[in-house]
Amino acid sequence: MEKKINVAVVGAMGLVGGEMIKTLERRNFPVAELRPLDIAANVGREVTFHGEAVKVKEACKENFKDIDIAIFSAGGDASTILAPQAVEMGAIVVDNSSAWRMDEKCPLVVPEVNPEDLDWHNGIIANPNCSTIQMVVALKPIHDESTIKRIVVSTYQAAAGAGKKGIGSLYKESENFLKTKEVQTSDAFSYQLGFNAIPHIDVFQEGGYTKEENKMIFETKKIMKSQDIRVTATCVRIPVAIGHSESVNVETEDKITKERAQQLLANAPSIILQDDPETNTYPMPLFCEDVDETMVGRVREDSSIDNGLNFWIVSNNVRKGAALNAVQIAETLIERKLV
């Protein structure tokens, strides 16, 4: 008989928390009890799981009692406080915030890339940044074929990266701008996102990179277990509701032809290759809302260097970029008999 797991979802009323609950249901995760947790103001509200209403409880230490796996999407401050408390109460934490990602004692895991890192967890497992997840899924088969030396990535990230507030702000700004033709004040971003592209996600840090860009740089090195990979990133917010897109250029030690790269990507887990220029077939965020896989296209050899490849990656940042990857980590814990 399949082992049943008591699961807490922390931040259950948020965009990603809600998607985590849907993902647990959609993938028939072996849930014995679902315990949705959130801030005190949301206590008593309800979520639906397998057709039944489940009341939200407060996210506090006592409510992790008897929980096997706690999946967090409550922000870094909450995770810093609550994750160790959940572990103390006996739960394994899968945390979606940036709080634990670069902690040497916490594995940073994408199941298609480095599931073996779960074996050394000490109670807290970090879910990588959404833009990092989709990139390393596509990089893995390339890196296995020939070691990647350098990565140059530019992202085109959706409003959903800022949660429900981000999507709502995009819609409101766009509607008001169409009516007034005046630049709007944004509720969620540094500038109006509607009809705009903002080359600024998260705070600026030393050297002129943003925190989002540095996340991609340092998380990629950790996940792929190589501090020698040179990574540079530019992260841009664009007026798309859901679905991050990325233009990626890689330099490998040995030459990989376009045809071989397409073959590697097509055969890799959780990747859909959409790559036929003759029929204008390539991934777009417009068509990713109900897609779990990472979509890759525009594969071509970089004519400016000997061993270079360019490709285009699109993924649902709420699913694979957050909720789905977290649930897959929980599934992999079960598969590896770690829970």
pLDDT in tens, 12-32: 999 999 999 999 999 999 999
Confidence (pLDDT) at 2 = 73
- pLDDT average, residue stretch 287-310: 97
Tell me what the pLDDT averaged over the chain comes to: 97
Among 288, 302, 136, residue whose Cα is nearest residue 226: 136
pLDDT value at 1 more than 80 = no
Confidence (pLDDT) at 221 = 98
Amino acid making up residue 147: T
- pLDDT average, residue stretch 301-330: 98
Band (pLDDT 50/70/90 cuts) for residue 272 is: very high
- Within 13 Å of residue 299, how many CA atoms lie on the same side as its CB? 22
Domain with CATH 3.40.50.720 in the chain: 5-128+322-335
Distance from C-alpha of 261 to C-alpha of 250, rounded to nearest angstrom: 12
Band (pLDDT 50/70/90 cuts) for residue 3 is: confident
Q: Which residues touch 57 (CB under 8 Å, ≥6 apart)?
A: 35, 36, 37, 43, 63
pLDDT in tens, 112-133: 999 999 999 999 999 999 999 9
For every residue of the chain, which 3-state class applies, written as one string?
CCCCEEEEEECCCCHHHHHHHHHHHHCCCCEEEEEEEECHHHCCCEEEECCEEEECEECCHHHHCCCCEEEECCCHHHHHHHHHHHHHCCCEEEECCCCCCCCCCCCECCCCCCHHHHHHCCCEEECCCHHHHHHHHHHHHHHHHCCEEEEEEEEEECHHHHHHHHHHHHHHHHHHHHHHCCCCCCCCCCCCCCCCCECCCCCECHHHCEHHHHHHHHHHHHHCCCCCCEEEEEEEECCCCCCEEEEEEEEECCCCCHHHHHHHHHCCCCEEECCEHHHCECCCHHHCCCCCCEEEEEEEECCCCCCEEEEEEEECCCHHHHHHHHHHHHHHHHHCCCC
pLDDT in tens, 294-304: 999 999 999 99
- pLDDT average, residue stretch 103-118: 98
Residues designated as active site: 130, 244
Band (pLDDT 50/70/90 cuts) for residue 289 is: very high
- How large is the C-alpha radius of gyration of the chain? 20
Q: Which residues touch 59 (CB under 8 Å, ≥6 apart)?
A: 10, 11, 37, 38, 39, 74, 78, 82
Amino acid making up residue 264: L
Contact at 8 Å (CB) between 78 and 87? Answer: no
Q: Which residues touch 278 (CB under 8 Å, ≥6 apart)?
A: none
Distances (CA, A) of 321 to 158, 200, 204: 11, 19, 22
- pLDDT average, residue stretch 181-201: 96
Is the domain defined by 132-317 classed in CATH 3.30.360.10?
Answer: yes
Distance from C-alpha of 126 to C-alpha of 329, rounded to nearest angstrom: 9
pLDDT value at 69 more than 80 = yes
Confidence (pLDDT) at 207 = 95
Q: Which residues touch 280 (CB under 8 Å, ≥6 apart)?
A: none
Topology (CATH) of 5-128+322-335: Rossmann fold (3.40.50)
- pLDDT average, residue stretch 193-211: 97
- pLDDT average, residue stretch 45-70: 98
Burial class (CB in 10 A: 0-12, 13-18, 19+), 200: middle
Domain with CATH 3.30.360.10 in the chain: 132-317
Amino acid making up residue 93: V
Least confident of 1-15, 82-96, 165-179, 298-312: 1-15
